[in-house]
Amino acid sequence: MKHDKLKHILSGLGASLLVSIPDYVTTKDLFAGLWVCLWVGIIVGLVKEWCDNDYSLKGRFDWRDFAWTVAGAVVIALLILGMHYGKG
């Protein structure tokens, strides 16, 4: 059970890191970086939960798993905020 939550948070972290950090660094736009980060987290959360349900045959959407995936994206959003306001 805990292993599944770790997969969800790492999925959100990894996808958001790969997409939103390069977006923020190239555009220097805080809103764009945060917007992309959170949308990637939501999309990855939906896809991950759909794949989990497809393979496990539970047939139900687990909002807690989805929330853990989005929480991984929120960590990256906080990192972007730190990068933006920590410039000195």
Q: What is the arithmetic mean of pLDDT over 23-33?
A: 94
Residue 33, CB-side half-sphere exposure with 13 Å CA sphere: 22
Statement: residue 57 has pLDDT above 80 = no
Statement: residue 63 has pLDDT above 70 = yes
The Cα 20–Cα 63 span in angstroms is 24
Statement: residue 11 has pLDDT above 60 = yes
In this prediction, residue 75 carries a pLDDT of 96
The Cα 37–Cα 29 span in angstroms is 12
In this prediction, residue 1 carries a pLDDT of 59
- Residue 12 Cα to chain centre, angstroms: 3
